[in-house]
Amino acid sequence: MKTETQCLHAGYTPKNGEPRVLPVVQSTTFTYDSTAEVARLFDLEETGFFYSRIGNPTVDAVEKKIAALEGGVGALCTSSGQAAVLLAALNLARCGDHIVSAASIYGGTHNLFDVTLRRFGIETTFVDQDASDEELARAFRPTTRLVYGETLANPALSVLDIERFARLAHARGLPLLVDNTFATPVLCRPMAFGADIVIHSTTKYMDGHAVQLGGAIVDSGNFDWRSGAFPEFTEPDPSYHGLVYADAFGRAAYIAKARVQLMRDMGCCQTAQGAFYTNLGLETLPLRMRRHCENAEAAARWLAAQDKVEWVRYPRLSGDPYAALAEKYLPDGASGVVSFSFKGGRDAGARFIDALRLISLETHVADIRTSVLHPASSTHRQLSDAQLAAAGITPGMVRLSVGLEAWDDILADLQRAMDAA
Ligand SMILES: *Cc1c(COP(=O)(O)O)cnc(C)c1O
């Protein structure tokens, strides 16, 4: 099936007389006839639902759909994108281990790696994803367990050279984990370029309507965990009577362990109702992504022609520093987010935002409604201009998340605000 068809049909195929639309199974638990059957489920000798923290039919259907879209062997839905990143990392790294991550990533992931995981004894080295292979080689340690990056980074809009990062990771016997939130599998499928694990905040374009937090981890099934560097996959798990994940689950060992061990113990699961909303979003994802890309490209071109604008970043714009990588990894468009900066600095940015009427000011991206954020007066307002510069943000920078409205209406609002800036 092609992507458009998978978005509608993968994961749930009703049998004769069953609901046409994915039903919400709003039950925390599932009943069985014998204690022997329940014992086999708990020993993972049989598959079946028994408690919705570990598996639920509605969530399962969405997991299968997202796995199909990314070309993986299995997926695990989580309560948020942050939970997906957390479980994806903890499934590989434990106290004393090390992560190599691109520096240009989502702020929440940066905090998780740089502050919270350090408290767990897991260290992260942040690298410039555009540095040479020789420079990047220096970041690796004998304790490194994974390499991490974002296809299209939020909010920097840098494009990861996935093939090169996969080569660097695989040469050292390590998996590459890629957060594909901004691109979605409609615009890029990182596993086709060598990524081993793909992560999503489904809160963004997958839901797309700003109604449901969620995350997903997808396992390509391509990484061989038996090298010896990942003892948790090859040595017995005492919490399952000595089960060995690599033997019991083969190619799906990574995603099975994430579910039956980490999700069991940490509990950050998606709900049936949440999965239902995520699924509604997924059904129209290809249509929406096409329109987000068209409107964002139009906005980027228009902004680039404005006298008051100092610079515009959109990777599909010719002249963008990531135009060549975007041509390879995002041939059909670079998603709906555009960033730009005013020559007039912080005050011009604030005046622009205050003059908008249709476009709303909010702490979100990837909504069907066009929205905008001025970091210097909101998320980063405590920083001086010098501190902003160190964070890669200019005082006049605006992040525009272009939605699905008619382009003429978006343009009219942008023009009104530009006149006021
Ligand atoms: C938003 C986001 C996250 C975190 O997702 P939540 O669903 O907000 O927890 C992770 N990665 C990227 C790239 C994001 O944009």
Are domains 3-281 and 286-420 of this chain identical in fold? Answer: no
Question: How much is the pLDDT for 330?
Answer: 98
Q: Whose CA is nearest to atom 7 of ligand 1?
A: 81
- Residue range 286-420 forms a domain whose CATH class is alpha beta
Residue spans of the domains in the chain: they are 3-281, 286-420
Residue 268 CB less than 6 A away from ligand 1? no
**Could you tell me the pTM of the whole model?**
0.96
Residue 108 CB less than 6 A away from ligand 1? yes
Residue 215 CB less than 6 A away from ligand 1? yes
Question: How much is the pLDDT for 415?
Answer: 98
User: Per-residue pLDDT for the chain (421 aa), expressed as one digit of tens each?
Assistant: 999 999 999 999 999 999 999 999 999 999 999 999 988 888 888 889 999 999 999 999 999 999 999 999 999 999 999 999 999 999 999 999 999 999 989 889 999 999 999 999 999 999 999 999 999 999 999 999 999 999 999 888 999 999 999 999 999 999 999 999 999 999 999 999 999 999 999 999 999 999 999 999 999 999 999 988 999 999 999 999 899 999 999 999 999 999 999 999 999 999 999 999 999 999 999 999 999 999 999 999 999 999 999 999 999 999 999 999 999 999 999 999 999 999 999 899 999 999 999 999 988 899 999 999 988 877 777 777 877 776 667 888 999 999 999 999 999 999 999 999 9
| Placement of tokens 């520096």 in the chain | 103
Residue 180 CB less than 6 A away from ligand 1? no
Question: How much is the pLDDT for 390?
Answer: 66
82 CA → ligand 1 middle, Å? 6
Cβ-contact 217, 75 below 8 angstroms: yes
On the question of a cis peptide bond just before residue 155, with omega within 30 degrees of 0, the verdict is: yes
Among 380, 336, 6, smallest CA distance to 204 is for: 336
Residue 225 CB less than 6 A away from ligand 1? no
Residue 212 CB less than 6 A away from ligand 1? no
> Token digits for 148?
């991490």
What CATH fold (topology level) applies to the domain 3-281? Aspartate Aminotransferase; domain 2 (3.40.640)
Q: Whose CA is nearest to atom 12 of ligand 1?
A: 106
Q: Whose CA is nearest to atom 1 of ligand 1?
A: 201
Burial (CB count within 10 angstroms: exposed 0-12, middle 13-18, buried 19+), residue 242: exposed
